[in-house]
Amino acid sequence: MAPGNPPPVLAAGVLVWRERGGAVQVLLVHRPRYDDWSIPKGKLDKGETFPAAAVREVAEETGYRVRLHRPLPASVYLLPDGRTKIVQYWTGTVRAKVAPGPRDRGEIDEIRWVPLDEAEKLVTRQGDQVPLVSLRRFLEADELVTAPIIIQRHAAAVSRAKWRKGEKSRPLNSKGRKQALALPPLLDAFDPASVVSSPWERCRATVAPLAKIEGLKVRTKDELTEAGHAEHPSRTAAVIDRVLRQARPTVVCTHRPVLPTIIDSVRAVAQPGAALELPREDPFLAAGEALMLHTTPGGTVVAIERHLPNIG
């Protein structure tokens, strides 16, 4: 952002889809102020991540709690006051119906499941057309159904120089503890169903808040530790290969020195365009950063994104 320019307006939305009678339908909302049909979306709250905002906005506008799947092209445009607006989109599916409908009828007065063909004619804004076209492209390529596999680097830890009790017990520092507490709203947006972690303290502490909130048991694998990886990197690769083949929503928490082997395994099953999004240089991921791998049932990674917990 150039000095003196106003900060951009940040927003997030979800193109929610379902299958009915062999056809794909998408969820649209009617905005009475503009008398138009649109994809559910809204501005980020202070301190909120894009994924968490996307899920919250859909719930407020439609009454549906959704899970995010693969990302869609962002929409970037100028507002009448000269500010830039950036809207990040994802595909999504329904987890549950949590409310009767729009929270604010003055903002959204109707919601409707619309066949994809009809939706492409019903929406008017170019910013809403692009996600619809992308969803159709995923559908035609048999890549619409995906599961998130989340490679989570442990949160910030006490430095090696300051910890004399061994690597296994080295804990998170104050920043890391804040990151761990901020991870659940971010990762919950993708609805993980299992958590696999290095048994070392800093990894277990990173995923403990998420596991508690989600009601998940943390399974530990020695192959995900620094020592286990150094001794048998092929076994580490085998753990990751198995997670990728299973293609279930999973969080895998590990350490920086293990990441090159994991990234090599991902690159082997990623589409060329997705593979370009893989980190290439040490440290590969920042402390507390998550690498989202959107994976088809056949184990092919078709999209990749990165997210950090927002701790202010």
Q: Alpha-carbon distance 312 to 306, whole Å?
A: 18
Helix (H, G, I), strand (E, B) or coil at 205: helix
Domain boundaries, the chain: 9-140, 147-307
pLDDT single digits (tens) 81-102: 889 999 999 999 999 988 877 8
What would be the CATH architecture of the domain defined by 147-307?
A: 3-Layer(aba) Sandwich (3.40)
Q: Any idea which fold 9-140 has?
A: Nucleoside Triphosphate Pyrophosphohydrolase (3.90.79)
Q: Check the CA dihedral 102-104-105-110 and report its sign.
A: negative
- Burial bucket for residue 78 (CB in 10 Å: 0-12, 13-18, 19+): exposed
Contact 16, 58 (CB under 8 A): yes
Q: Write the single-letter amino acid at 281.
A: E
Residue in 25, 24, 26, 55 with CA at minimum distance from that of residue 41: 55
pLDDT single digits (tens) 232-283: 999 999 999 999 999 999 999 999 999 999 999 999 999 999 999 999 999 9
Reported pTM: 0.94
Written as six digits, the tokens of 266 are: 């991902």
